[in-house]
Amino acid sequence: MPPSPTAVPPPSDRVRLRRKPGRGHYDRETIHAILDASPICHVGVVVDGAPIVTPTFQWREGEHVYIHGARTNRTLNVADGAEICVTVSLLDGLVLGRSAMNHSANFRSVVILGRATRIDDPEAKRARLKAFIESLYPGRWDTLRPITDTELKATAILSLPLDEASAKLREGGPMDDEADYALPIWAGVLPVRMTPGTPEPDPRNLADVSVPDHVTGFRIG
């Protein structure tokens, strides 16, 4: 169970939960766990006066999250040095109540606000990309063909501190109106899980190449 939402105050008013504040958590442990559990995030920036939200991969190292993409990526170029918003969301279950208004979802989410900084040093970029691959597939980086200088130049990596971050969680069953519990309507939770399937080998794999442990034993987060 995450620490009490009142145990750690919000780092800023910008990330303080106003609706359902009891679901808010601001402690590092909860925020780190959610970020580490999902590689997918959404990055919000303002481009030419209009908001743009782009899905991409993220990974955490200490008190920073990192996002990457092509050096020509418009979102990343606009985000460099700008105030951005990064969100990570995990759906844990669909909550079915006895009325339409009391349907809900069990979820874990993190919102991060802050100013993004592009990493330009080639060795720092190489280290960040290694950390990214290793966070998903431990042991894989050293088995790969080394990344080239050209590939590094073609890749943009942005860093965002976790100085302004908040988590929001919901868990448990439906919360119906007391009178509705007497109705003959099924209610409860339909759990939702994101799990890996059976590996599908590239048909051009060499005949003597076996499936590595970091693939057969892959677990999200």
Q: Where are the domains of the chain?
A: 21-217
Q: Mind listing the pLDDT tens digit for each residue in 32-58?
A: 999 999 999 999 999 989 999 999 999
Q: What are the Cα distances from residue 53, in Å, to 31, 50, 75?
A: 21, 10, 8
Report angle CA 100, 105, 107 to the nearest 5 degrees: 165
Alpha-carbon dihedral sign for residues 112, 15, 168, 54:
negative
Q: What integer is the mean pLDDT of 143-151?
A: 96
Q: Which tens digit of pLDDT belongs to each residue from 61-109? A: 999 999 999 999 888 999 999 999 999 999 999 999 999 999 999 999 9
Query: Residue 194: which of 39, 65, 42 has the closest Cα?
Result: 39
pLDDT in tens, 174-211: 999 999 999 999 999 999 998 899 999 999 999 999 99
CATH number belonging to the domain at 21-217, selected among 3.40.50.740, 2.30.110.10, 3.40.449.10, 3.40.190.10: 2.30.110.10
Q: Is the pLDDT of residue 1 over 90?
A: no
